């Protein structure tokens, strides 16, 4: 039985990379949804009641509340499997989840340490942060050297999950010089930036 797709509400913040992930998936699957735009300094009472850590994004599907962006996107993939954003093969599906874990736990931290420095992190945490970030981008560059996408032959949740942090990195005011050599990553980034799902995700007038 196909799930009801007419009752999807997303609590979101336009620039939040995790919320961007979810909005992109909703648009990739052409699902109608309502957006509740949150103020990160003054969350709505509704969100505070639904998320134990008071974060965006939060998705409500009928009476089901889901939080954590990667859980939301996999939920949407399972509920609305067309078009597919996950490979069929178990090993490739595992690769998507490994890219997601890496981007959340390692890559994002490295981006934030370079972006914000000691305004958010200790001096000890920031030591060597640019070199750690370089190794992260080399990982992406190497994967894209002979591939158009991070996993498989089509855009998948791996690309959508990693992309917002690569976008953040290329927007850093003092962009690391090593990025100039990452031509495959830049080409992939451009293709993601031009993807209709991202364009719609960043246009608040398109629901």
Place 207 in a pLDDT band, splitting at 50, 70 and 90.
very low
The helix (run of H) or strand (run of E) holding residue 115 is helix 108-116
Q: What is the pLDDT of residue 112?
A: 97
pLDDT exceeds cutoff 80 at 187? yes
Residue 104: both structure tokens together: 């959340």
Name the nearest CA neighbour of 54 among 74, 68, 73. 68
Pairwise CA distance, residues 44 & 54, whole Å: 9
86 close to 156: Cβ distance less than 8 angstroms? yes
pLDDT exceeds cutoff 50 at 206? no
- Read off the pLDDT of residues 108-153 as tens digits, 9 standing for 90 and up: 999 999 999 999 999 999 999 999 999 999 999 999 999 999 999 9
**Residue-range domains of the chain with CATH:** 8-84 (3.40.30.10), 90-193 (1.20.1050.10)
Inter-residue long-range contacts of 133-136, CB under 8 Å, 24+ positions, other chains counted: 133/169, 133/176, 134/176, 134/178, 136/106, 136/107, 136/110, 136/111
Q: What is the pLDDT of residue 174?
A: 87
Q: What is the mean pLDDT of the chain?
A: 95
Pairwise CA distance, residues 166 & 107, whole Å: 9
Averaged over 93-109, what is the pLDDT?
98
């Amino acid at each position: 039985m196909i799930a009801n797709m007419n009752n999807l509400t997303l609590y979101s913040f336009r620039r939040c990379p995790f919320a961007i992930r979810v909005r992109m998936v909703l648009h990739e699957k052409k699902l109608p949804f309502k957006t509740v735009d949150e103020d990160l300094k003054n969350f709505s009472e509704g969100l505070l009641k639904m998320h134990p850590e008071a974060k965006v994004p939060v998705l409500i599907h009928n009476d089901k509340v889901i939080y954590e962006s990667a859980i939301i996107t996999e939920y949407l993939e399972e509920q609305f499997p067309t078009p597919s954003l996950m490979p069929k093969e178990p090993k490739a599906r595992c690769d998507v989840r490994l890219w997601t874990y890496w981007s959340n736990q390692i890559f994002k931290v490295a981006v934030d340490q370079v972006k914000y420095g000691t305004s958010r992190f200790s001096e000890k945490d920031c030591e060597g942060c640019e070199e750690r970030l370089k190794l992260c981008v080399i990982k992406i560059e190497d994967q894209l050297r002979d591939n158009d996408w991070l996993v498989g032959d089509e855009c998948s949740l791996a690309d959508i999950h990693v992309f917002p942090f690569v976008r953040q990195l290329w927007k850093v005011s003092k962009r690391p010089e090593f990025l100039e050599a990452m031509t495959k990553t830049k080409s992939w980034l451009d293709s993601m930036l031009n993807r209709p799902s991202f364009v719609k995700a960043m246009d608040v007038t398109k629901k």
